[in-house]
Amino acid sequence: MSPSESVAISIDLGGTRYRVAAVSTDGRVLARLTGRSAAEYEPSAVIDDLVAAVKRIQAELSASHFVGLGVAAPGPIDEEARIVLVAPNFPRWKDVPLAAELERQLELPAYLGNDANLAALGEFRHGAGRGVHHMVYLTVSTGIGGGVIVDGRLLLGSRGAAGEAGHMQIAADGPRCNCGNHGCLEAFAAGSGLARRALAAIEEGAETTLRAIGNTVTAVDIGEAAAKGDALALDLVESAGRALGVGVRNLIHIFDPSVVVIGGGVSQMGALLWDPMRAIVASDPYVAFRGSARIEPAALHDDSGLVGAAVMVFEPEVAGLQPRVRTA
Amino acid sequence: MSPSESVAISIDLGGTRYRVAAVSTDGRVLARLTGRSAAEYEPSAVIDDLVAAVKRIQAELSASHFVGLGVAAPGPIDEEARIVLVAPNFPRWKDVPLAAELERQLELPAYLGNDANLAALGEFRHGAGRGVHHMVYLTVSTGIGGGVIVDGRLLLGSRGAAGEAGHMQIAADGPRCNCGNHGCLEAFAAGSGLARRALAAIEEGAETTLRAIGNTVTAVDIGEAAAKGDALALDLVESAGRALGVGVRNLIHIFDPSVVVIGGGVSQMGALLWDPMRAIVASDPYVAFRGSARIEPAALHDDSGLVGAAVMVFEPEVAGLQPRVRTA
């Protein structure tokens, strides 16, 4: 690393822990720390933790030039006002001016973005979407989030809430979703949806090796059972793959992207999930006529969001934001 | 009209007829001609017709300054190469360099766009989407087309095919669509889908006043029968409204627009269609949380596409295109 390398600080406020990293302009993670869950604490205590973590990283990379700080947060935020409106997994967080507070304490320009949007941005600049102008990203994890690059810029929409493809309804009579609706993409294919469907099938008497696990069954269990040939697990994973295929196909019709990038833990189930997904997309006559968009796994794995938060710092316009003047 | 008013020529290549108009910078249609259907003739004969029609309009508005010419075409086109690739209703049209030929013969910079995209552009600049930056437009007619404004510009996508919301699948086991899939939005709510579903119900023995019309039943007949209380027609229109509601809700999740504009003949069925559509959108907890996007009928009616083609001429960047140098 050159002595005066430009570096961005990235913070990913995950549901189970937060992560803080230093990221170079070419998307390398130079240093990282993992902290405690933000869920159990008051926002002010978490902010104190984050400030301390950033200072440790700054001390470790003391020769670097710190350009700014980017925060990836789940749930509804106000990008322009830099406020976390509601954090689904953090019950005590409401209207927290997170970026302004970090900016004040750390004397670094600070930006705030939605975690799925920033993961899209990371994959666009440094991952599976490099070199294209139009990209759709889906993260298939506990829930399903999305982010879209249009003409080389992140799509924010009128209130910063664009890209929420997880609540695309693909079947009015489909399984119940966390949001209260039925048949959302998330209800079919996210980890929470898979687990809920497995439990329902077990209650209805399905023969499955998952029965031994009981109420704590997760998408990881389902993936492992499917790989071993469990019929229920295979059905669920195939159904998730088909649902993702419908979602991807719909998004191709709507955005005409060059590439669709799929990340998140559930996306790592391999061919059992990807084959039915690709088959549904390939079966679409219009998509076939136009030359199907590539469908690629995320290249940055767990770091898409951290890297994307750094892209937001280095290139705020690409994240749909106004550059901030350096405060110190 | 001032002597040197700037005017764009617009051509709308409809399925049943073409239309040629002169449009002012503020979106007024100053003159118009309706020609024969393009479907029955060779492209060269249609181009001869169009050139003659444009010259008549130029003669009529001889004091105007003609800035350029915009063509709205159905089906897949290549905006940058200005070629009509395939025209669904014009079997003899394949890879027709329509805009280049009109530009050559008329000595006016000529642009080509998709009809639904340009209708979106017309509504954005001069109709129900004035003043917003993020807008989704759906035209519900024989088929369902769409166009999206993102950050004040038309979304084209990587190959100019973005906005095809009509083939968003909302039910894998839904009615068969023209495209070969099942359960596309178009199969539920477009005129062709409504007519096909009415015929299928009649064949299955449904009691309905539509039976007297027989095989030629149209969406207009269904709308009229519904207004008179025919149970089958009411069911079909309500089902179309609900399907549109799902489509609109999904598009709100994906684009977070300020307004969703709905045009096209089927959209004029009134409350029987609009009430179930609005109810589905309003029932979505996320949409409710964020403050629902407005849903508005198209303000320019049949002229959205003609006006949008003129916007493409006056502001090519807003249509996602490079400005063309005037050739004469």
pLDDT tens-digit readout, B62-92? 999 999 999 999 877 888 888 888 776 677 8
Distant-in-sequence, close-in-space partners of B152: CB < 8 Å, separation ≥ 6: B133, B318
Query: Would you list the domain boundaries of chain B?
Result: 6-120+303-314, 131-298
What's the mean pLDDT when you consider all of chain B?
92
Instruction: Convert the pLDDT of each residue in B116-172 to its tens digit.
Output: 999 999 999 999 999 999 999 999 999 999 999 999 999 999 988 899 999 999 998
**Mutant choice from B77, B78, B250 vs A, greatest count of A C-beta within 10 A:** B250
Candidates B154, B119, B111, B121; CA nearest to B139 is B119
Count of positions (residues) in chain B: 328
Instruction: Convert the pLDDT of each residue in A24-57 to its tens digit.
Output: 999 999 999 998 777 778 889 889 999 999 999 9
Mean pLDDT in residue range A158-179: 90
Instruction: Convert the pLDDT of each residue in A81-112 to its tens digit.
Output: 888 887 766 778 888 899 999 999 999 999 99
Residue B217 reports pLDDT greater than 80? yes
Q: Are B172 and A170 inside 8 Å of each other by CB?
A: yes
- Topology given in CATH for the domain delimited by B131-298: Nucleotidyltransferase; domain 5 (3.30.420)
Burial class (CB in 10 A: 0-12, 13-18, 19+), A281: buried
pLDDT classification of A1: cutoffs 50, 70, 90: very low
pLDDT score recorded for residue B1: 47
- DSSP-derived 3-state class of residue B1: coil
Distance of alpha carbon A114 from alpha carbon A79, whole angstroms: 8
Q: Are A256 and B157 inside 8 Å of each other by CB?
A: yes
Q: Which of A148, A158, A256 sits opposite B158 (nearest CB)?
A: A256
Candidates A73, A70, A20; CA nearest to A50 is A20
Compute the nearest-CA separation of A236 from chain B (Å).
16
Q: Which of A158, A168, A283 sits opposite B256 (nearest CB)?
A: A158
Compute the nearest-CA separation of B148 from chain A (Å).
9
Instruction: Convert the pLDDT of each residue in A258-305 to its tens digit.
Output: 999 999 999 999 999 999 999 999 998 877 666 668 999 999 999 999
DSSP track, B29-88: EEEEEE---STTS-HHHHHHHHHHHHHHHHHHTTTSEEEEEEEEESS-EETTTTEEEEET
List chain A residues with CB under 8 Å of B155.
Answer: 150, 255
pLDDT score recorded for residue B161: 86
What's the mean pLDDT when you consider all of chain A?
92
Distance of alpha carbon B310 from alpha carbon B174, whole angstroms: 38
pLDDT score recorded for residue A89: 66
pLDDT classification of B308: cutoffs 50, 70, 90: very high
Q: Which of B151, B158, B170 sits opposite A134 (nearest CB)?
A: B158
pLDDT score recorded for residue A292: 67
Instruction: Assess B94–A contact: CB distance below 8 Å, yes or no.
Output: no
Percent of chain B predicted with pLDDT > 70: 95
CA nearest A321 in B: which residue?
A: B151
Q: Does domain A6-120+303-319 have CATH number 3.30.420.40?
A: yes
Q: Is B131-298 in the same CATH topology as B6-120+303-314?
A: yes
Where residue A82 falls (left for φ over 0; alpha for ψ -120 to 50; beta otherwise) is: left
Q: Which of B133, B163, B290 sits opposite A161 (nearest CB)?
A: B290
Note the ipTM here.
0.92
- Residue A128: other Cβ atoms inside 10 A: 23
Compute the nearest-CA separation of B101 from chain A (Å).
24
* Residues of B carrying an active site annotation: 115
Q: Are A256 and B162 inside 8 Å of each other by CB?
A: yes
**Which CATH superfamily includes the segment(s) B6-120+303-314?**
ATPase, nucleotide binding domain (3.30.420.40)
Which of the residue ranges A49-63, A200-214, B170-184 would you say has the lowest mean pLDDT? B170-184
Compute the nearest-CA separation of A170 from chain B (Å).
4
**Mutant choice from B184, B185, B253 vs A, greatest count of A C-beta within 10 A:** B253
Instruction: Assess A75–B contact: CB distance below 8 Å, yes or no.
Output: no
Distance of alpha carbon A310 from alpha carbon A71, whole angstroms: 9
Q: Given 3-state DSSP classes, what are the helix, strand and coil percentages for chain B, each rounded to the nearest 5? A: 40, 25, 35
Which of the residue ranges A236-245, A259-268, B87-96, B236-245 would you say has the lowest mean pLDDT? B87-96
Rounded to a whole number, what is the distance in angstroms from the first to the last CA of chain B? 24
